[in-house]
Structure 1
Amino acid sequence: MKILVLGGGVTGVSTAWYLANSGHEVTVVERCATVADETSFANAGMLSYGYTNPWAAPGIPFKALKWMMQDMAPILVSPSSFNVKTASWMLRMLGQCGEEAYRINKRRMLRISEYSRTCFDEFTQQLPFDFDHRSKGTIELFRDQEKMDSIGADLASLKECGVPHEVINHADCIRYEPALANVPEKFVGGLRFAQDGTGDCQKFTTNLAEHGREIGVQFKFDTDVKALAVSSGKITSVHTSEGELTADAYVVCLGSYSPMLLNPIGFKLPIYPIKGYSLTLPLLDETKAPQSTVMDEAFKVAVTRFEDRIRVGGTAEIADFDLSLKEKRRKPTEFVVGDLFPGAGDISKATFWCGLRPMTPDSVPVIGSTPITNLYTNTGHGTLGWTMSLGSARLISDIINNKAPEIDNEGLSIDRYMK
């Protein structure tokens, strides 16, 4: 079967790889000049299989109000970008903040993340290429005891979902991340996910694209996807800046831009572009740097170690499709890496970046078939596109191949937005 994968980020390239491996003729259509040139380019680098949480959670509305008053707020709403679409999405997200909705959404997300961990384990044995991969876990670091004492509900949810984790004390934080011994007064303890990992998403996607070419995947770069043509309940072609393209099946992997393609043909897909920022620092002193990922619970900023670099990712800006780099949003990332790992990286030579995370109101991606028989989606992964990439790609490949998926795909498809 001839299949067009629309989008060349990590989700699209992973989808193409699994489909080509199952015998299909696959072409990836990407508007940039290369793969992983947008949201997949410089994300936080966390493969957070266990550290998987919906944005919408009990207590979040109150926390969000408090954050808005902070100088280094984890979440910022840009007044200039606030419109009806933004307000509608925010209201839908707030509607998911109840305890039952949180449990449902977290189970759905963990189902994909844990499956993706299995896929990454298998994949790195099959194709051992370099992407700065480490498997040394994630520590969610707590700066105050009161906050650490309040994580009972999260621990119960992790236990219910069978996610390996451990609450660790101050000494254990230093045992797993020795550089924290330089700032012992900054934290009280942590929550550790031993099976989590790290890796450079852009490196991974670029290497995977090369392996994809070896098994027949073709790439059409500098090609903007504009619209889908529908006739008699099927997609007949996709209109692009380079003309009409046709296939037997189409997979939408366009992240934040997916609604622009799907909404005009009747699918009101509530994916919103949440802007995230990162810094990438050259490594100065390995003894002062993290070994894996440390997530600062107070500021929602992750400090992740690559081989010769440190990636610092975090903050969220509700700003529609604004991709301007705002220096004010650099402050939280610079503060956290300098506060927890002073002297580890060269902040004066840091690269500042931003990208758009495709967020659904329930934080669950949209993976599966649609009422249009040859149209499929693998999009809306929010902050977890890197983490969920292989699991969601393998899942959509199985669905397209009419093969029983290895995990339950209940509640993942676009159907949940059509009721």
Structure 2
Amino acid sequence: MKVLVLGSGVVGVTSAYYLAMQGHEVTVVDRQPSPAMETSYGNAGQVSFGFSSPWAAPGIPQKAVKWMFQEHAPLKIQPRMDPTMARFMMQMFNNCTAERYAVNKERMVRVAEYSRACINELRDATGIRYEDRQRGLLQLFRSDSQVEAIAKDMKVLAQCGVRHTLLNAEEIKNVEPALMRVPGKFVGGLHLPDDQTGDCHLFTNRLADYCRDRLGVEFRFNVEIQRLKRQGDRIDGVITSAGELTADAYVVCMGSFSPFLVKDLDIRLPIYPVKGYSLTVPVTDDGGAPQSTVMDETFKVAISRFDDRIRVGGTAELASYDLSLLEKRRATISMVVHDVFPEGGDVAKAEFWAGLRPMTPDSTPIIGGTKYSNLWLNTGHGTLGWTMSCGSGHLLADLMAGRRPAIDPNGLDIGRYAA
């Protein structure tokens, strides 16, 4: 089968890999000059299977009001007359119940845990390296109330068989020795030993090279994807800046821009861009830097270790498709990395970046078919695109081939929004 994958971020390239591994003739199309140049370029660097949690959680609406008046809040909203933003926020707040949180958390962990097995197999099979480390993630708590609140997540992790350990203030230093330099700052942490770190941009590019050189995948860059042509219940082609492209099947992996492509097909994708920022900081003191990934629960900022760099990612900003770099957002993530690892890196020399995370109201990606028999979706992964990319790519390839997938796909496709 000839397949067109639309988008060359980490989700598009992993989808192409698994489709090609099943023997399909795959072409990847993207407007950028190379893979992973948008959301996958400067993400937080964490591959956080056990940390897969919905942004929509009990108490978030009340917290969102408080965060509006805090300088270093994890969520910021840029007020504007945008009915799409208003609809997204309403849908998100409707998911902020204990019942919906449990359902969404299970779906996310289901995909993420499968993705853990898939990326491990992929790394062994391809031999690619991407400054990766398999040393786990440490979620840091600054208050006893945060420790108490994590109990519901630990229950879901246990049900899904995810290894985890709740650590006290002394035990966290055994996982991240540099925390000994900031005594009294944290009351404890949740350690997820099977989580990983690495450079997503490097991973995606090296996997793309493997797909092209070893699996025969064609990549067409600098090609603007304009619209889909339909004929009855099938897609007939893709109109691009390079002309019309045709295939037997089409896969939409365009992140925050996916809704625009399928809107004329009467498919409403409830995906909204949630802007995130990152700093890439050169390491100056190995002993004062993280050895893997830590997540500061208070500020929702992740700090990950590459070979000689620290990637700091955080802030969720609802600002439509605006990619401007706001210095006040830089101040927040700079403050956090300096507060947690004050001697680890030179923040003054950091690269500042922003990207658009394709978020769904329930934080779960949309993976599966549509009402068009040859149109497929793999999009809406939010902050966990890299974490879930291998699992969602493998799942999609199995579904497209009519194979029985390794995990239950129930609740993962666009059908859950049918109502």
TM-score range relative to shorter protein: over 0.9
After superposition, the C-alpha distances for 1:129-185 in whole angstroms (9 at most, x for unaligned) are: 220111111111011223223322222222223221110011111001000000012
**Is the 1:167–1:191 contact (alpha carbons within 8 Å) kept by the matching residues of 2?**
yes
2:185 equivalent in structure 1: 186
**Is the 1:2–1:24 contact (alpha carbons within 8 Å) kept by the matching residues of 2?**
yes
What SS does the corresponding residue of 2:171 show, helix, strand or coil?
helix
Matched, 1:394 2:394: yes
Q: Write the distance in 2 (CA, Å) between the matches of 1:168 and 1:142.
A: 10
The code of the aligned residue for 1:346 comes to D
**Would you say how many aligned residue pairs link Structure 1 and Structure 2?**
418
Q: Write the distance in 1 (CA, Å) between the matches of 2:164 and 2:203.
A: 26
1:142 equivalent in structure 2: 141
The code of the aligned residue for 1:144 comes to S
Structure 2 counterparts to residues 65-104 of structure 1, below 5 A: 65-79=65-79, 81-104=80-103
Q: Write the distance in 2 (CA, Å) between the matches of 1:389 and 1:372.
A: 23
1:118 equivalent in structure 2: 117
Q: Write the distance in 2 (CA, Å) between the matches of 1:369 and 1:93.
A: 23
Q: Write the distance in 1 (CA, Å) between the matches of 2:139 and 2:5.
A: 35
Matched, 1:310 2:310: yes
**Is the 1:301–1:332 contact (alpha carbons within 8 Å) kept by the matching residues of 2?**
no
1:27 equivalent in structure 2: 27
**Is the 2:5–2:28 contact (alpha carbons within 8 Å) kept by the matching residues of 1?**
yes
**Is the 1:9–1:40 contact (alpha carbons within 8 Å) kept by the matching residues of 2?**
yes
Q: How far has the Cα of 1:343 moved from its partner?
A: 1.8
Mean CA deviation greater in 118-127 or 102-111: 118-127
1:333 equivalent in structure 2: 333
The code of the aligned residue for 1:314 comes to G
**Is the 1:284–1:344 contact (alpha carbons within 8 Å) kept by the matching residues of 2?**
yes
Matched, 1:16 2:16: yes
1:39 equivalent in structure 2: 39
* RMSD of aligned residue pairs (Cα, Å): 0.9
After superposition, the C-alpha distances for 1:63-87 in whole angstroms (9 at most, x for unaligned) are: 11111121111000012x4411111
2:239 equivalent in structure 1: 239
2:5 equivalent in structure 1: 5
Structure 2 counterparts to residues 206-225 of structure 1, below 5 A: 206-214=205-213, 215-225=215-225
**Change in 2 beyond 3 A, CA 1:320/1:180:** same
Q: Unpaired runs of 5+ in structure 1?
A: none
**Is the 2:123–2:129 contact (alpha carbons within 8 Å) kept by the matching residues of 1?**
no
Q: How far has the Cα of 1:126 moved from its partner?
A: 1.2
Q: TM-score under structure 2 normalisation?
A: 0.98
Q: Write the distance in 1 (CA, Å) between the matches of 2:210 and 2:172.
A: 38
What SS does the corresponding residue of 1:185 show, helix, strand or coil?
coil
Q: Write the distance in 1 (CA, Å) between the matches of 2:112 and 2:153.
A: 16
Q: Write the distance in 1 (CA, Å) between the matches of 2:350 and 2:81.
A: 30
What SS does the corresponding residue of 1:149 show, helix, strand or coil?
helix
What SS does the corresponding residue of 1:192 show, helix, strand or coil?
strand
Structure 2 counterparts to residues 162-177 of structure 1, below 5 A: 162-177=161-176
**Is the 1:274–1:319 contact (alpha carbons within 8 Å) kept by the matching residues of 2?**
yes
Q: Write the distance in 2 (CA, Å) between the matches of 1:369 and 1:241.
A: 26
Question: After the TM superposition, which parts of structure 1 deviate over 4 Å for at least 4 consecutive aligned residues?
Answer: none
Q: Unpaired runs of 5+ in structure 2?
A: none
2:323 equivalent in structure 1: 323
2:285 equivalent in structure 1: 285
**Is the 2:3–2:250 contact (alpha carbons within 8 Å) kept by the matching residues of 1?**
yes
After superposition, the C-alpha distances for 1:87-135 in whole angstroms (9 at most, x for unaligned) are: 1110000011111111111111100000000011111111222201111
Q: Write the distance in 2 (CA, Å) between the matches of 1:82 and 1:167.
A: 44
**Is the 1:132–1:199 contact (alpha carbons within 8 Å) kept by the matching residues of 2?**
yes
2:51 equivalent in structure 1: 51
Q: Write the distance in 1 (CA, Å) between the matches of 2:75 and 2:188.
A: 24
2:418 equivalent in structure 1: 418
The code of the aligned residue for 1:147 comes to Q
2:226 equivalent in structure 1: 226
The code of the aligned residue for 1:277 comes to Y
**Is the 2:95–2:361 contact (alpha carbons within 8 Å) kept by the matching residues of 1?**
yes
The code of the aligned residue for 1:201 comes to C
Q: Write the distance in 2 (CA, Å) between the matches of 1:297 and 1:156.
A: 18
Q: Write the distance in 1 (CA, Å) between the matches of 2:81 and 2:106.
A: 31
**Is the 1:137–1:194 contact (alpha carbons within 8 Å) kept by the matching residues of 2?**
yes
Q: Write the distance in 2 (CA, Å) between the matches of 1:119 and 1:14.
A: 10
1:348 equivalent in structure 2: 348
Q: Write the distance in 1 (CA, Å) between the matches of 2:153 and 2:208.
A: 37
Q: Write the distance in 1 (CA, Å) between the matches of 2:113 and 2:172.
A: 24
**Is the 1:82–1:319 contact (alpha carbons within 8 Å) kept by the matching residues of 2?**
no
Q: Write the distance in 1 (CA, Å) between the matches of 2:146 and 2:208.
A: 43
Structure 2 counterparts to residues 349-368 of structure 1, below 5 A: 349-368=349-368
After superposition, the C-alpha distances for 1:242-294 in whole angstroms (9 at most, x for unaligned) are: 11100000000000000001111011111000000000011111000001001
Q: Write the distance in 1 (CA, Å) between the matches of 2:164 and 2:24.
A: 39
